[in-house]
Amino acid sequence: MNRSSSLDGKFEGSIPKIYETYLVPMLFEPYAADIVNRVRARPPSRILEIAAGTGVVTRALAASTPADTSIVATDLNQAMLDRASAAGTSRAIVWRQADAMQLPFPDGSFDAVVCQFGVMFVPDKARAFAEARRVLARGGVFVFNVWDRLAENDFANTVTQAMESVFPTDPPRFMERTPHGYHDKRRIERDLASAGFAASPDITTVDARSRAASARIPAIAFCQGTPLRNEIEARDPSRLAEATDVADAAIASRFGRGAIGGRMRAHVIIVDA
């Protein structure tokens, strides 16, 4: 594992707060509504969420499922869970730190396992999928989504290109490598099959719009509220502000200085246990 990829899963320090403040409304809320609607269509009585982050899906699940539906929300990063639990939910749920590749739950504990934009960060996808299958009861469902390729997601792509001018000999590639690095449908199907899912997954591509009040918001969001920040600071911690300014200028040049919008594209995967 190289220096950059070893930092990809670290959401620490001020990252969780910036992530929740800027990234959640800009990127994650539209897809949270979509994935929760798909989960509710089943409907499960016991839900496990993995890689819950700061809780955007958790809050939507708690608000839209019956009061007797149990929800356990997990994440590898305790700092993200702390931010999620501080934000709270409309009813009581269980927060628990857990590794998706080694879930601390008995076999068949849940009717649904849900993961929004988290599997891309797991080093061994097939192992995490096998764990999801293990904790699902017979007839349960695994619902998750992943970002499509970087070129189909405007703000992330623009910021990534902008970093090439800041660090021309060693540009940070976090966004391309990890959040947007697991979009091949055949690879996802193979990983699910090797994890023991016998059913063929249903894979749906979902387009949405990413919106922000100004170009500064996505610049801060990506450069300071994701592990891209770890990459920037690993190269030169004194250049974080400069990198943010360059990203701001690049987004403004492409989308304007007022309220802006850009394309987002993701794949939603549903597979029966």
CA pair distance 98, 137, nearest whole angstrom: 19
How high does pLDDT run on average in the chain? 96
Percent of the chain with pLDDT over 70: 98
Does 271 have pLDDT greater than 80?
yes
- pLDDT confidence band for 10 (50 / 70 / 90): confident
Does 111 have pLDDT greater than 70?
yes
- pLDDT confidence band for 12 (50 / 70 / 90): confident
215-266 pLDDT per residue, tens: 999 999 999 999 999 999 999 999 999 999 999 999 999 999 999 999 999 9
- The residues, ordered by sequence, that sit 6+ positions from 156 with a Cβ below 8 Å of its Cβ are 147, 150, 175, 179, 180, 222
Q: What is the pTM of this model?
A: 0.95
Does 5 have pLDDT greater than 80?
no
Percent of the chain with pLDDT over 90: 95
State the fold for domain 5-272.
Rossmann fold (3.40.50)
